[in-house]
Amino acid sequence: DDELRRLPDDLAGLPPAFDPDGTVTGSTIAPAVDGVSALLVGAGAPGHAPVAEILGVGRSAGEPLDPTGNLTQAAALALAADEGGIGAVAAWEITEPTAAATLLAVDRLGLDQALVNRHGGTLAVGDAGAAEELRLVVDGLARLGPGEQLAAVSMGPTGAAVTLVGRP
pLDDT tens track for 33-55: 555 556 666 666 777 777 888 89
For β-strands 91-94 and 149-156, DSSP reports them as parallel
Task: Decide if 59 contacts 161 (C-beta within 8 A).
Answer: yes
- Judged against a pLDDT cut of 90, whether residue 23 lies above it is answered with no
> What's at 117, amino acid-wise?
N
Residues whose CB falls within 8 Å of the CB of residue 148, separated by 6 or more in sequence, listed in order? 90, 91, 166, 167
Is the whole model's pTM more than 0.75, yes or no? Answer: no
DSSP 29: B
Confidence at residue 3, expressed as pLDDT on a 0 to 100 scale: 44
- Supply the mean pLDDT for the chain: 78
- Judged against a pLDDT cut of 60, whether residue 5 lies above it is answered with no
- Judged against a pLDDT cut of 50, whether residue 2 lies above it is answered with no
- Judged against a pLDDT cut of 70, whether residue 31 lies above it is answered with no
Query: CB 62: neighbour CB atoms within 10 A?
Result: 19
Lowest mean pLDDT of 23-37, 46-60, 96-110, 115-129, name the range.
Answer: 23-37
CA distances from 139 to 12, 37, 94, 108, 152 (A): 27, 10, 11, 24, 10
